[in-house]
Amino acid sequence: METMNAYHLYLWLIPALPFAGFVINGFLGRKLPKLIVSSVALGAPLASFAVVVRAALMVWPGSGSVALPYVENFAGTWMLAGLLHVDFTFALDQLTLIMLLVITGVGFLIHIYSVGYMTHEDGYWRYFSYLNLFLFFMTVLVLAENYLLMFVGWEGVGLASYLLIGFYFDKTSAANAGRKAFVVNRIGDFGFLLGMFLILAQFGSLSFSQMGSSLANVPGMHGGILTAICICLVLGATGKSAQIPLYIWLPDAMEGPTPVSALIHAATMVTAGVYLIARTHFLFDRSPMALAIVAIIGAATAFFAATVALVQTDIKRVLAYSTISQLGYMFLGCGVAAYSAAIFHLMTHAFFKALLFLAAGSVIHGLSGQQDMRKMGGLRKKLPVTFWTMTAGVIAIAGIFPFAGFFSKDAILYEAFQHGTPGKVLWFVGLVTALLTSFYMFRLWYMTFFGESRADTHPDTHLAEPGLNAKHAHGVHESSWVMLAPLAILAVLSLLGGWVGMDRFGGFLAPVLGPVTVPAHEPGGNTLDLGLSVVAVATAALGWFLADLFYRRKPDRPMAIQASMPGVYTLLENKYAVDEIYGMTIVQPLILFSRYVLGGFGEVGIIRGATWVLGGATTLSGEFVRRWQSGNLRSYAGWLAAGAAVLLIFAASYALGVSGTMIHLNWGGH
């Protein structure tokens, strides 16, 4: 499996450069001038991206000189203990290459944007060091050749996410959100760990290549322990990718700065779960039950999140639920064994979701910190570049031809439809979700940019991002070119990114993810595909139409509907009270248990009790023994006599008792 090449791809540089950026900015950034901090922070991802591009050119099928998969052991053996043998090994194949291009490319653009967005923040250096740290861990995650190294990256991005969500650490809600994200992620990590243990028990190795080859030796093996492994890994994936039941941290994660939301909670970290499933596809292929679970989770989450997004008023919340919903689509794609389609959607989603978040950030920045859409409106003329780029993103996510989202979403829905009767049900759910997606995205679009301005004359004091309002209290203004350039680039990618086409994309990934199960088709070629595409586009158009109806032409209709269905509305607005339900059923009992059982019985009773007993015993025995040392000569003499008596008894009995005769005492002369 190892391919020794004459050309060295220097894969280890890809994580190492952002790590260097983290170290420099982390330790020295406080003292360095902002220019240096920015240069280091931007230079690292740029250099990383350059290495990735060079590697891509060298391995490109047809023109490249290096064969894939390319494996590089950069630091020797990590662990060698009995059954467990884990190396520090990076591997580059087509899937990893795609992920790396997205991570470093989009990551670099977001870094540029952040320079503009975070200009007036305290802790500028801290922000960029965390951001570089995140890049380091994320690249380790996708480059890892075994599960354990991937887990390092997995945990690390969780850590970086915590640090960045809680970036405004003096704000209680931000700190709580960071903690919530980390804890919920941890629950998922537990599943990942269990999966790793099972893998080790079953295959004796955590390395992908060794697992693949040992699995190929047993072609008839299905279900059973493989299903168990897959379900454990899925639990981990739902934590990281914010699916039911562990999605609750993502809406709260919007407390972090907007570029963080763009990078971590839209484009890269949340896709780690999808990547995991795609990477483990050879196990999932053997376990239909696990695939079914993934598909159902995906479809349910997609629909569920879309319904909640319908009524949210915070622009970032809408995008957060939209992310959850789109990740549901990716899970759905994996669940119907269309891994390439899921990765395709991952890529296009990275483009347009990052774009949407950054554009929203631009809007928020322009309004000096306002995030409530009810207070926006009429920004089309005032923020033109932002408007046009966001439009590109909205159309892309709605899945309207010929923008990127159409191709990828269409591929997933097509594959789902092909998957038998349950597949058709999933397709229908996906279609309804597409309708809702289109509706709420255009709702966002209209509320933000169209109509009369509903902004308050007095700036809102209670704003989400503290730095913006305090230092930026002048009127609505377009952002600087530092922020707009990435928007433009991402807009272009959102427009054109889908034109790669599913068959070329699937073909590229085929060596890794297996052949596309349905024979290659051309858009417009296959009748069924054409029909489904038309239905999808029509649904999206319907959503646009409805949004236009409610939010531009008749703005009072939503209010009327809300008044007529207050129960439903409240349910949706409160996100089905899931957080509250979790709080009551899981968190409260845990707190009570910790406080009374562990704290009361365990801590006070057992631990303090044990120390009390030990201490008491020592003190008591000390009191007792103390009396022995009285200084009284006579009592000493008494004890001496007693000791002598005991010794004499022993000696005499020994001497007399030895086989009935005495020890020969040199009787009769010396």
Partner 1 sequence: MHLILFIIFAGFCLAGAINLLLQTHPINSALSLIVVMSSLAVLYLLLGAEFLAAAQIIVYAGAIMVLFTFVVMLLNVGTEEKTHGSRVAKIIGFPAVVVILGVISTFVLESQQRLSSPSSGISLSEKVTTTQDLSRVLFHELLLPFELTSVLILIAILGAVALAQKEGA
Partner 2 sequence: MSFETIPGSWYLILSAALFCLGVVGFLIKRTLITVFMSIELMLNAVNLSFVTFAHEWHAVKGQIFVFFVMVVAAAEAAVGLAIIIAVYRSRSTLNVDQIDLMKL
Q: Which is nearer to partner 2, 528 or 656 (CB)?
A: 656
State yes or no: residue 664 binds partner 2 (CB under 8 A).
no
For residue 245, whether the previous peptide bond is cis, meaning omega lies within 30 degrees of 0, is yes
Alpha-carbon gap, residue 542 to 477, rounded angstroms: 33
For 450, the enclosing helix (H) or strand (E) is none
**Looking at 421, 461, 564, 666, which residue binds partner 2 (CB under 8 A)?**
666
Should residue 639 be labelled a site residue for partner 1 when binding is judged by CB under 8 A? Answer: yes
Minimum CB distance to partner 1, residue 617 (Å): 24
State in angstroms the smallest separation of the CB of 629 from partner 2.
10
By CB under 8 A, residue 79 contacts partner 2: no
What's the CA gap between 394 and 439, in Å, rounded?
10
Strand partners, 86: 79
Find the shortest distance in angstroms from Cβ 608 to partner 1.
38
Count how many Cα atoms sit within 13 Å of the Cα of residue 442 in the half-sphere of its side chain.
23
Instruction: Determine if 641 is a binding residue for partner 1 (CB under 8 A).
Output: yes
Q: Is 220 in the site for partner 2 (CB under 8 A)?
A: no
Which one of partner 2, partner 1, none is in contact with 669 (Cβ closer than 5 to 8 A by kind)?
A: partner 2
CB 366 within 8 A of CB 478: yes
670 binds, among partner 1, partner 2, none (CB under 5 to 8 A by kind): partner 2
Site for partner 1 (CB under 8 A): which residue of 559, 606, 620, 652? 652
* Segment 571 to 600, residues that bind partner 1, using CB under 8 A: none
Q: Is the Cβ of residue 577 or residue 637 nearer to partner 2 in the bound state? A: 637
Question: Which DSSP helix (H) or strand (E) runs through 467?
Answer: helix 466-471
Q: Does 630 bind partner 1 (CB under 8 A)?
A: yes
| Residue 289 binds partner 1, judged by CB under 8 A | no
Q: What is the dihedral of CA 416, 420, 425, 427, to 10 degrees?
A: 20
The CA distance from 15 to 139, in Å, is 6
Q: Taking Cα atoms as reference points, which of 396, 357, 471, 397 lies closest to residue 113?
A: 357
How far CA 319 is from CA of 47, 311, 423, 552, 596, in Å, comes to: 30, 12, 27, 20, 41
Q: Please list, in sequence order, all residues whose beta carbon lies within 8 angstroms of the beta carbon of residue 180, skipping any fewer than 6 positions away.
A: 248, 249, 252
Interacting residue with partner 2 among 611, 619, 630, 653 (CB under 8 A): 630
Q: d(Cα 132, Cα 140) in Å, to the nearest integer?
A: 12
> How far apart are CB 654 and partner 2 at their closest, in Å?
19
Binds partner 1 (CB under 8 A): choice among 475, 634, 659, 669: 634
**Ordered DSSP codes for 215-260:** HHT-TT--STHHHHHHHHHHHHHHHHTT-TTS-THHHHGGGS-HHH
Tell whether residue 627 is a contact of partner 2 (CB under 8 A): no
**524: contact with partner 2 by CB under 8 A:** no
628 interacts with partner 2 by CB under 8 A? no
Alpha carbon dihedral 483, 486, 492, 497, in 10-degree steps, equals -140
Tokens of 98: 């795609």
Is residue 241 within 8 Å of residue 277, measured between CB atoms? Answer: no
Which residue from 262, 436, 480 is spatially nearest to 356, judged by alpha carbons?
262
632 part of the interface to partner 2, by CB under 8 A: yes
Exactly one of 201, 607, 642, 658 binds partner 1 (CB under 8 A); which one? 642
DSSP 612: H
Taking the least distance from each CB to partner 1, the nearer of 617 and 648 is 648
Q: What angle do CA 41, 97, 217 make, to 5 degrees?
A: 140
668 touches partner 2 by CB under 8 A: yes
DSSP per position, 138-197: HHHHHHBSBHHHHHHHHHHHHHHHHHHHTTSTTSHHHHHHHHHHHHHHHHHHHHHHHHHH
Q: Examine residue 221 and tell whether it contacts partner 1 (CB under 8 A).
A: no
Question: Interface with partner 2 includes 670 (CB under 8 A)?
Answer: yes
Alpha-carbon distance values, 617 to 151, 301, 620, 624 (Å): 48, 60, 5, 10
Asked if residue 402 binds partner 2 (CB under 8 A), the reply is: no
CB of 600 to partner 1, least distance (A): 47
Rule CB under 8 A: say whether 667 interacts with partner 2: yes
Do the Cβ atoms of 351 and 404 come closer than 8 Å? yes
User: Which residue in 559, 613, 644, 658 binds partner 1 (CB under 8 A)?
Assistant: 644
HSE, side-chain direction, 13 A CA sphere, residue 495: 10
Binding-site size, partner 1 (CB under 8 A):
20
**CB closer to partner 1 out of 528 and 648:** 648
* For partner 1, the closer CB: 67 or 648: 648
Show the tokens assigned to 91. Answer: 């591997």
- The smaller minimum CB distance to partner 1, of residues 481 and 636, is found at 636
Segment lying near partner 1 (by CB under 8 A), choices 17-25, 71-79, 602-610, 655-663:
655-663
Task: Give 587 or 647: the residue with its C-beta nearer to partner 2.
Answer: 647
Instruction: Give the range of 204-212, 379-387, 526-534, 660-668 binding partner 1 by CB under 8 A.
Output: 660-668
Q: Does position 631 bind partner 2 by CB under 8 A?
A: yes
Residue number with CB closer to partner 1 (553 or 670): 670
Q: Tell me the per-residue interface mask from 438 to 477 with partner 1, x by CB under 8 A, - otherwise.
A: ----------------------------------------
Six token digits for residue 659:
């086989």
641 contacts partner 2 (rule: CB under 8 A): yes
Using the minimum distance from each CB to partner 2, give the nearer residue, 458 or 670.
670
Regarding 564 and contact with partner 2 (CB under 8 A), the answer is no
Residues that bind partner 1 (CB under 8 A): 630, 632, 634-635, 637-639, 641-642, 644-645, 648-649, 652, 655-656, 661-662, 665, 667
Residues that bind partner 2 (CB under 8 A): 630-634, 637-638, 641, 666-670
